[in-house]
Structure formats: C-alpha cells, structure tokens
Chains A and B, each alone.
Chain A
Amino acid sequence: MIDGSGSIGELMAVWTAGPMLSIAMTLAAFLAAQWIFGKIRRPLWMPPVLIAAVLLTAVVAASGIGFEKYQQGARWLTVLLGPATVALGVPLYQQMHHIRALWKPILVTLPIAATLAAGYALVIAWSMGASPMVMASLAPKSVTAPIAMGIAEQLGGSVPLTLGALLITGVLASLFVEWGTRWLRVKDERIIGFALGLNGHAVGTARAFEISPTAGAFSSLGMGLTGIFTALLLPLLLSFAR
C-alpha cells in the first residue's frame, strides 16, 4: 500500500517535471470542447474557449497538480500566441481587396468605436464607484490579450482581472453582435467581422472565422487596429488625467 502510493507519487513527480502533462491536458480539453460544442448545437453563449477552460479548470483542480505547475507546462503552448497573432496578417492580406473597398468606413468607425469600447465600461464602472485598480483592469477589455496585459500593467491594473474581463467581453461581444445584426438588419459579413474583432478581440475573431474567411479577416483587422489604437490612446488619456 505504502509502496503503491509511493510509486504513484513518483510517477506524478516524473509526469509534472516536464510540460508534457500540461500539453496533453490542454490538447485533450481543446478537442473535447470542439466535440461538445458540436454536440450541443454550437451555442453562442458557450464558445469552445469557455468549454475548454471549464474542462481544464476541473481537471487541474481534481488532479491536484496545482495551477502554477499546470501554467508552467502550458507555457510551451501559449508561446505560440505570438506567431499565431502574426499569422492573422495572412488572411488580412488575402482579403485586402475587401478592406480597400471599405477603408473609409473602417477609418471613421475605428476611433469612435474603439474609444467607446473602453469608454462605456469605464463610465459605468466609475459611476458605480469602482476603484482605480478595477478601472485600470477593465480599460483594455476589448483588446487582444498580449496587448491588454501590457496596458493593464502600465495603468496599474490587475492582470488576472483583465484576463477575466477579456473572456467575459469576448463571449458577450459574440452574443451581442449576433443580436445586434438582427436588430439593426446588418447582413454585410465585413461589418459583422469588424464589429466582432473590434469589441471581442481573439474570442470574437475565432467566432468570425466560423462565419466566413471574409468575416475572419475583417475581425483580425478590427482586433489589430483596436489593439494599436487603445495601446496608444489609453496611456495618453491617463497621463492627461493625472
């Protein structure tokens, strides 16, 4: 008995020494999430990223590896977020003829919508008496994760709270874009894609690629432009406010 638990303990030590267990768990959760998502008829309020995260959380908690250990191993996968962001430039180029045809609406909409994506939430949070730390964490809510974490740190926010806000915003943006397009009778996939990327960053972009490559390209564009615009604007605004 003691011997048995000893070798199991040894096995866990060997398995968690390298990143392979974290990688296996992440891959399995991703594949299972895709399968479940298809089985439950692809609901917008429960995108694959949320299913995968819930599954992973349950497994990490139940297995007793601990979040820190898991995160260390998963870093072998998450470093790919850098080149994956670069990869978004390819559909962007492939859809350039669509973007050229729509460059004026894009240039007009971007500063208004990207400012309001942060502004509405900040005004609401401020009117509810949120602390400066919470406001700083919420400010980059519509910005893609790698940029958002940088902005939150720079403004004095909490990075974990920002990541939570990002997830909620991404899921809600996909939902509200679906409702909004019906309500405002928007059928243009380019506009739908742009709204998804501008408001819902990578989660919205993953959703946009489910609609069509054109929507995906416009979402990548919206995400990239919002990231750049917000990263430049927010620190500037804050330096005036101080």
Chain B
Amino acid sequence: MVLLRGFLTLVIFFLLGEAVRVLAGLPISGGVLGMIMVTFTLMVRGRVSDELAAASQGLIAVLVMLISPGVVGVFFIADRFSDHWLTVLVALSVGTMLSVLTTLWVMKKVAGVEGGGDD
C-alpha cells in the first residue's frame, strides 16, 4: 500500500504535466513538466513523504530497464543508416567529447569563483 500511494502521486503529477503540456502547447514532455511540478510542490510543503520517497527510489532504480526496450530498436534499424554511419559516429563522439569538456571547464571556472567565499 505504501508503494502504491507513492506511485499514485507520481502518476497524478505525470497526468498534470501532460495537461500543462497540451493546454499551454509546450514542446516539453509531460514527464519533465511533472518533475518540475513535483519539485516545486515539495519545496512549498517543505518535506517529502516516506511513500513518495520510496516509490521514486524504486522507479529510479529500474530506469535502465525502462530505457532498454527503446534501445533494442536501434539494433534492428541500424542497417537503414549504413550510408551515414561515419558522419553520425564522428559527430557524436567528437561533439560529445568537446561538450563534456566545455561543461566541466565552464562549471569549474564559475563554481571556483563562486565557491571561493564559502569553502
């Protein structure tokens, strides 16, 4: 029952997120809108119930399982993109390496200046 109550809360926030997406015509998924709404609701309430914490922990633990069926599709359609694979691989690997390094570098620079006072 404890898990179900927490799960119901998550599903309701997902439905609310979908409602905001459709009614406001946003290009953002209902899940992400629901995530933002849960965070703000918890901030206003000032605490998180054990039920919600347990249910969200359970779902986050199986996140990988929920993604894997979508990934299977990639292997079945791979041959459709055989003409583009070199471009795709180079763009993804070099692009991701550069953007990871940029993120770490910028964040370290700004946080270093900021954190100087606190630490």
State the A residues within 8 Å of B (CB): 22, 26-27, 29-30, 33, 47-50, 52-54, 56-57, 60, 67, 70-71, 74-75, 77-78, 80-94, 96, 101-102, 104-105, 108-109, 112-113, 116-117, 119-125, 128-131, 134, 138, 141-142, 144-147, 150-151, 154, 158, 160-161, 163-165, 167-169, 172-173, 176-177, 180-181, 183-184, 186, 188, 190-192, 194-195, 198-200, 202-203, 205-206, 209, 216, 220, 224, 227-228, 231-232, 235
A160 and B106 in contact, given A82-B30, A87-B59, A228-B32 (Cβ under 8 angstroms): no
Q: DSSP class of A's interface residues: helix, strand, loop or mixed?
A: helix
Question: Contact check: which of B38, B66, B75, B87 meets A78 at CB < 8 Å?
Answer: B66
Contact (Cβ within 8 A) A195 B100: yes
Partner-A contacts on B (CB < 8 A): 7, 10-11, 13-14, 17-18, 26-32, 34-39, 42-43, 48, 52-53, 55-57, 59-60, 62-78, 80-81, 84, 86-108, 110-111, 114-115, 118
Given contacts A105-B107, A160-B80, contact A124 B72 (CB under 8 A): no
The answer to whether B32 touches A85, judged by C-beta atoms less than 8 angstroms apart, is yes
* B118 and chain A: residue at smallest CB distance: A101
Question: Nearest chain-A residue to B35 (Cβ)?
Answer: A89
How many Å lie between the Cα of A224 and that of B31 in the bound state? Answer: 10
A77 near B75: Cβ-Cβ < 8 Å: no
Q: Are B10 and A109 in contact (CB under 8 A)?
A: no
The answer on a CB contact under 8 Å between B73 and A67 is yes
Min CB distance B51 to A, Å, is 11
Known: A91-B56, A184-B101, A202-B67. 5 other contacts (CB 8 A): A80-B66, A82-B14, A83-B34, A105-B107, A172-B96
Contacts known (A91-B60, A93-B38); A77 close to B65, Cβ less than 8 A? yes
With A101-B118, A209-B60, A232-B27 already in contact, the answer to whether A89 and B37 are too (CB < 8 A) is: yes
Can you spell out 8 A-B residue pairs with CB atoms less than 8 angstroms apart?
A: A30-B64, A49-B68, A82-B14, A89-B36, A113-B106, A131-B84, A184-B105, A205-B63
Say whether B104 contacts A195, CB under 8 Å.
yes
* A88 B94 Cβ-Cβ under 8 A: no
From A113, A119, A129, A147, contact of B103 by CB (8 A): A113
Contact of B104 with A141 in the complex, beta carbons under 8 Å = no
Inter-subunit contact B29/A128 (CB<8 Å):
no
A105 to B114, CA, bound (A): 8
Whether A172 pairs with B97 at a CB distance below 8 angstroms is yes
